[in-house]
Amino acid sequence: MGGDPADAEPVTEARGPALHPPALKPGDRVRVVAPAYPGDGRLVRGQQILESFGLVVEYGEHVYDQYGYLAGTDAARLADLNAAFRDPGVRCVFGARGGYGTQRIIDGLDVAAVRRDPKVFIGFSDLTVLHAKLWRSARLVSLYGPLATWTDTRTGPDSVESMRKALMTTDPIVIARDPAEPSSAVNLPGKGSGVASGPLLGGNLTMIETSVGCGEFPNLDGAIFLFEDTGEAPYSYDRMLTQLRRIGALHRIAGVAIGQFNAAGDGSSGWTAAQAVTDRLTDLGVPVLGGLRIGHGNGQLTVPIGAKATIDTAAGTLTVEPAVR
């Protein structure tokens, strides 16, 4: 099965309650797959961490393949992804690396297999489109968290414990605003403050905006919209949020949770990323909470996508129900 639209099943939006995969336990098998860029030597450290949880780590056949900048051909990457979701012995599908490429194969995802046997999926960045597809097509709650190409200098002990808790416990996830994060400066008074609840949906802003008009683009009505990005200038945040506003995607959101503005520049062009985002969100009239360690920056934490979330701007907290049951 290829990744072209002609090969895809018709786009349908799943209805009904969310699907929560079982929590992982020692002895469970984790399959590392690469829907985008190929794996590299950092997978060794990622494997060590997962094994320290008592999990058994295995790899998709094409994780280290190289096809241009991709982890093998579209057919090979899609085969690995679908094999992981189809294997009843695999309890967690773990993204190896981001970069680019998941959009090329996403239309070929075996949604029926996902629905038949819900399992944990974790990853972020380019894999945002997979989170969105899993939610829109199967109502599967997934985990927006580190990739298996692990770097201790960026994702240290706090990141490890956050991931373990999200994978293996049914405790709610609570993330507090970090004043050191550039996005913490997005702090709106009046209607931009308060409490709001809804399913947490979103991820990497570039990938969300790039999915406009595609089958995985999420319906954000009533949702807490989560976004983060890396290497984007302030005007890029403005441009992407403006695009989402123009198509009406943000008209009925319940609130906004903002992750990390990684490598966004110093504002020498006129505005910082936080100032540009503040300008674009002020008149939405919904609570907005920034400063969350979610995304490409240091100390990345793990959060469920699709689970019910509550932001409280006074307390400075994002609280999310567990992804697993």
- Type of residue at 274: A
Active-site annotation holds for 137: no
Of 20, 62, 131, 296, the active-site residue reads 296
Of 216, 228, 232, 321, the active-site residue reads 228
* 6 CB neighbour count, 10 Å cutoff: 6
Distance CA 100, CA 3 (A): 15
β-pairing, 303-305 vs 142-144, is antiparallel
Distance CA 70, CA 102 (A): 10
Active-site annotation holds for 228: yes
Q: Is 75 exposed, middle or buried (0-12, 13-18, 19+ CB in 10 A)?
A: middle
Distance CA 173, CA 320 (A): 5
Distance CA 226, CA 159 (A): 18
Please state whether 150 falls in left (phi above 0), alpha (psi between -120 and 50) or beta. beta
β-pairing, 288-289 vs 255-262, is parallel
Active-site annotation holds for 125: yes
Of 62, 125, 183, 236, the active-site residue reads 125
List active site positions. 125, 228, 296
